[in-house]
Amino acid sequence: MVEAKKLAKRFPGDFLFGVATASFQIEGATKADGRKPSIWDAFSNMPGRVYQGHNGDIACDHYNRLEDDLDLIKSLGVGAYRFSIAWPRIIPEGTGPVNEKGLDFYDRLVDGLKARNIKAFATLYHWDLPLALMGDGGWTARSTAYAYQRYAKTVIARLGDRLDAVATFNEPWCSVWLSHLWGIHAPGERNMDAALRALHFTNLAHGLGVATVREEQPKLPVGIVINPMHVYAGSDSAEDKAAADRAFDFHNGVFFGPVFKGEYPESFLSALGNRMPAIEDGDMATISQKTDWWGVNYYTPMRVSNDPVEGAEYPATVSAKPVSDVKTDIGWEVFPQALGDLIRTVNARYQLPDCYITENGACYNMGVENGAVDDQPRLDYIADHLSVTADLIAEGYPMKGYFAWSLMDNFEWAEGYRMRFGIVHVDYETQVRTIKKSGHWYKELAGKFPKGNHKAE
């Protein structure tokens, strides 16, 4: 086992250790205090969409256990908490009246963090779009980007003076491709044209969000959280290498290109540009406004080969075999070096600001035995990826912090409650929280670093 004390010595004194969650995954209270349904409430209640019909109605009951959960975060010794804000609590219909009780909840959350000397890293959008906006097309409608802009303005006007950093979006790859092309996430579309519209309007909303944060709180560091794929070619063949390049553009370039260069990748536009929605004058300038930081969510590499089917739709790739036979309980290949390869690759291709690892963790489903959870594989996973992060810092990359995913076991989207990523175990019947072995180790590591002296730049 990697000693926390030894690993801590490889990080600068102002490195930020935190934990992360998302609103729909933990809050529950889906009908409380004026909240109205999100697309995930609807999706969860459609037969066959989520494992065994699980939903977010109760989740970890965080909405009703806020103070206890804030004490739990403090007990872990971390310097920051990354959470997301539920749009359906703030503007329940997506547009229209603002719900003060929803804002009050996040007021209590942020004030509670401040009182405990914990940095507040807020995410404005982590997939829970107000269901009412689906009447206009959801993310396939340009109007949703402007509804998002108003929502962002409402949140920042109320909370921005006490936040330490804000992200416009979490993992647009998921809310675009998984949600609109492959139908795995809400709203469950399986249509390339819908996905292309969601892609551009999500990117536009990000840019509008950045502008809104700047207007409301010019000193509040604003960024975006992306889950880029480090793409390995399945072989050294020219066909597979070309496939890997296309996969990079499709999975990464369509977000990094617009945000950090003001353009979509050439290979993507040549293949699918004629099916994109209208890109209006000023859109790309809006999308590519300077950000102060970006977040990387990393779990597993992507390995692809060329799709041999003639006329296969771009990016025309198929999955290639994993290199490592080590897998987490969700079936994802464990390959820590891909995190380093990824950071080096995207920094070589784009002019990127400071970086936080905003999610990293592993799914292992051990239960409580004799009052403890021995999740050694998760501990090893986190330690190995932190070791790679320390290597990147030594190489000069501006890695500023690490947020373990997740603070606690929670609603794991289409997987329901059967997959556990937490460093704290949750008994969903009793809502009892039990810090796992990995959580105790992480506490020892985070405890080596001073609190309250760090701000995203």
Per-residue pLDDT of the chain (457 residues; tens, 9 = 90+): 789 999 999 999 999 999 999 999 999 999 999 999 999 999 999 999 999 999 999 999 999 999 999 999 999 999 999 999 999 999 999 999 999 999 999 999 999 999 999 999 999 999 999 999 999 999 999 999 999 999 999 999 999 999 999 999 999 999 999 999 999 999 999 999 999 999 999 999 999 999 999 999 999 999 999 999 999 999 999 999 999 999 999 999 999 999 999 999 999 999 999 999 999 999 999 999 999 999 999 999 999 999 999 999 999 999 999 999 999 999 999 999 999 999 999 999 999 999 999 999 999 999 999 999 999 999 999 999 999 999 999 999 999 999 999 999 999 999 999 999 999 999 999 999 999 999 999 999 999 997 754 444 4
- In the beta sheet, which residues pair with residue 425? 434
CA dihedral 424, 26, 333, 394 (to 10 degrees): -70
40 marked as binding residue: no
Burial class (CB in 10 A: 0-12, 13-18, 19+), 416: middle
Q: How many secondary structure helices (H) and strands (E) does the chain include?
A: 17, 13
SS3 content of the chain, % helix, strand, coil (to 5): 45, 15, 40
CB 364 within 8 A of CB 328: yes
Query: Length of the chain in residues, anyone?
Result: 457
Output b/e per residue, 118-153; b: 16+ Cβ within 10 A: bbbbbbbbbbbbbbbbbeebbbbbbebbebbbbbbb
Query: Looking at the DSSP assignment, which residues form a beta bridge with residue 424?
Result: 435
**Whether 437 contacts 377, CB under 8 Å:** no
Does the annotation flag 149 for ligand binding?
no
| Residue 405 marked in a binding site | yes
CATH architecture of 4-447: Alpha-Beta Barrel (3.20)
The answer to whether the peptide bond before residue 315 is cis (omega within 30 degrees of 0) is yes
Q: 441 near 8, Cβ under 8 Å?
A: no
Measured distance CA(425)–CA(205) in Å, rounded: 35
Domain ranges of the chain: 4-447
Burial 62-72 (b: 16+ CB within 10 A, else e): bbebbeebbeb
Residues classed as catalytic: 171, 359
Q: Determine the pLDDT at residue 418.
A: 98
Is 413 marked as binding a ligand?
Answer: yes
Determine whether the annotation assigns residue 412 to a binding site.
yes
CA distances from 357 to 169, 224, 228, 437 (A): 15, 12, 12, 21
The answer to whether 311 and 326 are in contact (CB under 8 A) is no
pLDDT at 454: 45
C-beta of residue 173 within 8 angstroms of C-beta of residue 121: no
| pLDDT at residue number 455 | 44
Burial of 91 (0-12, 13-18, 19+ CB in 10 A): buried
170 annotated as ligand-binding: yes
Is 351 annotated to bind a ligand? Reply is no
In the numeric block, the tokens 């929502």 are attached to 151
Of 410, 445, 444, the residue nearest 424 (C-alpha): 410
Q: At 337, which amino acid appears?
A: Q
Q: What is the DSSP letter of 288?
A: T
Contact 448, 388 (CB under 8 A): no
Buried b vs exposed e over 339-349: b needs ≥16 C-beta within 10 Å? bbebbebbbee
